[in-house]
Amino acid sequence: MVDDGHGKSLVAVNVQRWKPDDGSMTKLFEKAETLPDGTRLNIHKKPVNQGHTTTIEWTADTFREDGIRIVVSALNTSAYPFAPTRPDPALDTAQLKAIALDPAWQRVTRK
pLDDT at 111 over 70: no
In this predicted model, what pLDDT tens digit does every residue of 42-86 receive, in sequence order? Answer: 999 998 877 778 899 999 999 999 999 999 999 999 998 889 999
pLDDT band at 107 (very low <50, low <70, confident <90, very high): confident
Mean pLDDT, the chain, integer: 94
pLDDT for the residue numbered 91: 98
pTM recorded for the entire structure: 0.93
- CA dist 85 and 69 (Å) reads 29
CA–CA distance, 77 with 57 (Å, rounded to integer): 9
pLDDT of amino acid 80: 85
